[in-house]
Amino acid sequence: PTPSISCVSTPDPIALGPAPEPKEPKARTSPTPSGRATTVPPSHMSQQPPKEYYNALVQAVDESEQGNSKSSGASTKHSTHELAERSYLQLQMEEIQEQREELVRVRDMWLKEQQVHRKALEDERSRADHEILQQREELAKERRRFAAEMELQRQELVKERSQCQSDILAQRKMMEEHRRKCEARYGTMGMGVERPLLTAFGGAGPAHPVLLSPYFLRIDHEGPKFEALLQTTTDSADATLLIDPSDDAAMSVTTQQVMRDQIRNAQNDENMPREWANFHSASKREVLAQHVMDYLAQEFVSNGGAFNHENTAEVAEKLLELCEQLKQTLADPVLLRLTSPMYVMGDVHGNFEDLLYFMRNLVQFGHLQYTSCKFLFLGDYVDRGDWSLEVVAYVFAMKLLSPHSVFLLRGNHELHEVNGDVDNYGDTSFKSKCMELLGDELGEDVWVAVNFVFQHLPLAAVVDERVFCVHGGIPRYRGGPDNRMALLSDPEFPRFNSVMSQPTDNEERARFREMALDLVWSDPALAEEEPTLDQWGFGPNVGRDSEDILIYGEKAIDQFLREHKFDVIIRAHEAKQAGVRLCKGGRVL
- What does 161-225 look like in DSSP terms, one character per residue? HHHHHHHHHHHHHHHHHHHHHHHHHH--TT---SS-----EETTEE-------TTEEEE-S-HHH
Give the rounded distance of the alpha carbon of 337 from its chain centre. 33
- Answer whether 515's CB lies under 8 Å from 488's CB: yes
> Which of 93, 123, 153 delimits the end of a domain?
123
* CATH number of the domain bearing residue 387: 3.60.21.10
pLDDT at position 332, please? 85
The helix (H) or strand (E) run that includes residue 226 is helix 223-232
How far apart are alpha carbons 1 and 194 in whole angstroms? Answer: 134
pLDDT at position 543, please? 81
Range of the domain at 67: 13-123
How far apart are alpha carbons 109 and 104 in whole angstroms? Answer: 9
Q: How many angstroms separate the Cα of 368 from the Cα of each of 161, 223, 419, 573?
A: 37, 26, 28, 26
Residue 79 in any domain: the answer is yes
Residue 45 in any domain: the answer is yes
**Phi and psi torsions of 435, nearest 5°:** -65, -40
pLDDT at position 194, please? 32
pLDDT at position 305, please? 92
pLDDT at position 66, please? 62
Those residues of the chain that have pLDDT short of 70 are 1-55, 57-58, 60-78, 181-282, 329
Can 413 be counted among the known catalytic residues?
Answer: yes
> Which of 89, 123, 157 delimits the end of a domain?
123
By CB neighbour count within 10 A (0-12 exposed, 13-18 middle, 19+ buried), where does 287 fall?
A: middle
Give the predicted TM-score (pTM) of the model. Answer: 0.57
Q: How many angstroms separate the Cα of 344 from the Cα of each of 22, 213, 242, 513?
A: 102, 11, 11, 26
Closest CA to 219 of 252, 243, 191: 243
How far apart are alpha carbons 290 and 365 in whole angstroms? Answer: 14
pLDDT at position 16, please? 40
Q: Strand locations in 88-186, DSSP E? A: none
DSSP class of residue 370 equals G
Q: Max CA-CA distance within the chain?
A: 166
pLDDT at position 289, please? 92
- Answer whether 61's CB lies under 8 Å from 53's CB: no
**Phi and psi torsions of 143, nearest 5°:** -65, -45
CB atoms within 10 A of CB 461: 22
Q: Strand locations in 327-399, DSSP E? A: 335-338, 342-345, 374-377
Residue 290 in any domain: the answer is yes
- Among 44, 78, 367, 413, the one annotated catalytic: 413
Residue 8 in any domain: the answer is no
Residue 421 in any domain: the answer is yes
Q: Total domain count for the chain?
A: 2
Q: Strand locations in 502-588, DSSP E? A: 523-524, 538-540, 550-552, 568-570
pLDDT at position 285, please? 84
- Answer whether 219's CB lies under 8 Å from 344's CB: yes
Residue 404 in any domain: the answer is yes
Residue 589 in any domain: the answer is no
Residue 464 in any domain: the answer is no
Vertex 465 angle, CA 460 and 468, to 5°: 35
> Which of 404, 439, 456 delimits the end of a domain?
456
